[in-house]
Amino acid sequence: MPRKKIIQMVAGLIIVLSLGIGGIINSGTIKNPSRGGSTMGTGYSIKLSGKFKEARLNEISDQIEATLLEVNRQMSTWDPESEISRFNHSRSVDAFSCSEAFSTVVRSALELSRTTGGAFDPTLQPLLNLWGFGSEAEERKVPSDEAVATVKQRTGWEKVTVDSDSNLRKNEPELSLALGAIAKGYGVDAVGQVLNEAGLENWFVEIGGEVLAQGVNGENEAWRIGIQFPTTNPMDMTFQGIAHITNGAIATSGDYRNYIKEDDVVYSHILDPRTGRAVKSRTASVTVKASTCMEADGIATALFVMGPDEGLPWVEQRDDVEAFFMIRTEAGEIFEIFSSGFKKATGYTSDL
């Protein structure tokens, strides 16, 4: 057999063997994987950039599931055995021992309450139940002024404290917490910490629309986050615009998904802690960019309560927070109001 023919046969055999070995090595490898599931009464999704062995990916997924289960065990009012439920159902005004994570979220919520003059308040569980939005509500209905005034006496962020040992204490026996406006963001941050500790550099975490992202996506570009057009149609997924981020969090609060409609009047699930009543304003939604999702989540709710006239000056005093208000006109049209640095911080564009 000619030498050239032998060389060709050997070369071909090497290629076949290489492809076979490569197939074995790459089997079980997933490029730009995504994972998802249910948590906190909503869904979550994780996106990663790069190639991952399936076994490694499953290990990370297990850690994420365990982290989210723990957050629920601490802060879900829907779980009667959770830390927050035990605190809420206790009528004691003595120190309540709890996990560091739970106390951290409460401490952050109280600080936000202080800086916003009470526009954010983690003690609204009795009022949420009264309106029908809470975990222990009987029915959704617009309550009377008298009922609101009576229940409002059991709320107030100044009535709960966190001491240096991370113990909670309430000075109103019937006070109870609702952390739905900030705990979701904390859960996102906790998952992000899992991914960072696993040595991952490019990832995207979302729980119920609240997002934390780092690095780039599978196309080596900034992560794209759609800002939804505020509509009550749950099937309408139209975007008002797109944010592009490589580091930080985006969270949105709006009045168009969870509400009561009575006598053709829509009452948002977002309550103004200062009045005890549903927020009624021209604000349709508020989107916040911040360094952590816990901050972005809580601030978005506070700004929705405050509205642009009160909220934008509050934002402009902070270097690490930007906001975007969607305002509804009397004709039902939407116009945009941005803080001075929102577009630069997010690469926001309405050119879809």
Radius of gyration of the chain (CA): 24
CATH classification (class only), 78-170 = mainly alpha
Tell me the C-alpha distance between 87 and 108, whole Å: 17
Question: What is the reported pLDDT for 21?
Answer: 39
- Please give the average per-residue pLDDT across 210-215, as a whole number: 98
Q: Are 266 and 259 in contact (CB under 8 A)?
A: yes
Report in angstroms the alpha-carbon separations of 13 from 4, 8, 124: 14, 9, 72
Q: Indicate if the pLDDT at residue 165 is higher than 60.
A: yes
Question: What is the reported pLDDT for 231?
Answer: 77
Domain 222-352 carries which CATH code? 3.10.520.10
According to DSSP H, which parts of 40-123 are helical? 54-75, 83-89, 100-115
In CATH terms, are 27-77+182-215 and 222-352 the same topology?
yes
User: 27-77+182-215, what's its fold?
Assistant: T-fold (3.10.520)
Residue in the structure block whose two tokens are 């168009």 = 256
- Please give the average per-residue pLDDT across 152-180, as a whole number: 96
Question: What is the reported pLDDT for 16?
Answer: 38
Helices 100-115 and 183-197 cross at an angle (nearest 10°) of 130
Question: Percentage of residues in the chain with pLDDT exceeding 70?
Answer: 91
Looking at this protein, which amino acid is placed at residue 323? A
Q: Is residue 6 very low, low, confident or very high in pLDDT (cuts 50, 70, 90)?
A: very low
- Please give the average per-residue pLDDT across 158-181, as a whole number: 95
Q: Is residue 352 very low, low, confident or very high in pLDDT (cuts 50, 70, 90)?
A: low
Q: Is residue 22 very low, low, confident or very high in pLDDT (cuts 50, 70, 90)?
A: very low
- Please give the average per-residue pLDDT across 259-278, as a whole number: 88
Per-chain mean pLDDT for the chain:
90
- Chain segment 170-192, per-residue pLDDT in tens: 999 999 999 999 999 999 999 99
- Chain segment 89-118, per-residue pLDDT in tens: 999 999 999 999 999 999 999 999 999 999
Looking at this protein, which amino acid is placed at residue 71? V
The pTM score is: 0.90
- Please give the average per-residue pLDDT across 238-242, as a whole number: 93
**Closest by Cα among 271, 296, 290, 294 to 281:** 271
Q: What angle do CA 28, 32, 37 make, to 5 degrees?
A: 90
**Closest by Cα among 242, 340, 251 to 304:** 251
**Closest by Cα among 286, 270, 256, 92 to 170:** 92
- Please give the average per-residue pLDDT across 69-79, as a whole number: 95
What are the domain boundaries of the chain? 27-77+182-215, 78-170, 222-352
